[in-house]
Amino acid sequence: MEPAQGESKRDCWTVAFGNAYNQEERVVCAGYDNGDIKLFDLKTMSLRWETNIKNGVCSVEFDRKDVNMNKLVATSLEGKFHVFDMRTQHPTKGFASVSEKAHKSTIWQVRHLPQNRDVFMTSGGAGSLHLWKYEYPAQRSKKDSEGAEMGVAGSVSLLQNVTLSTQPISSLDWSPDKKGLCVCGAFDQTVRVLIVTKLNKV
Give how far Cα 127 sits from Cα of 39, 109, 182, Å: 30, 12, 15
Give how far Cα 35 sits from Cα of 53, 113, 157, 179, Å: 5, 25, 24, 33
Going residue by residue through the chain, which has 202 residues, state the pLDDT in tens, using 9 for 90 and above. Answer: 888 888 888 999 999 999 999 988 999 999 999 999 999 999 999 999 999 999 999 999 999 999 999 999 999 999 999 999 999 999 999 999 999 998 889 999 999 999 999 999 999 999 999 999 999 999 999 998 888 999 999 999 999 999 999 999 999 999 999 999 999 999 999 999 999 999 998 8
* Euclidean distance between CA atoms 77 and 69, whole angstroms: 25
* Euclidean distance between CA atoms 55 and 76, whole angstroms: 6
Q: Which CATH number describes the domain made up of 12-112+131-163?
A: 2.130.10.10
Torsion of CA 121, 71, 82, 10, to 10 degrees: 100
Domain boundaries, the chain: 12-112+131-163
Nearest to 29 by CA among 89, 103, 86, 105: 86
* Euclidean distance between CA atoms 59 and 25, whole angstroms: 22
For the chain, the residue count is 202
Radius of gyration of the chain (CA): 17
Question: pLDDT at position 145, please?
Answer: 85
Question: pLDDT at position 3, please?
Answer: 81
Question: pLDDT at position 72, please?
Answer: 97
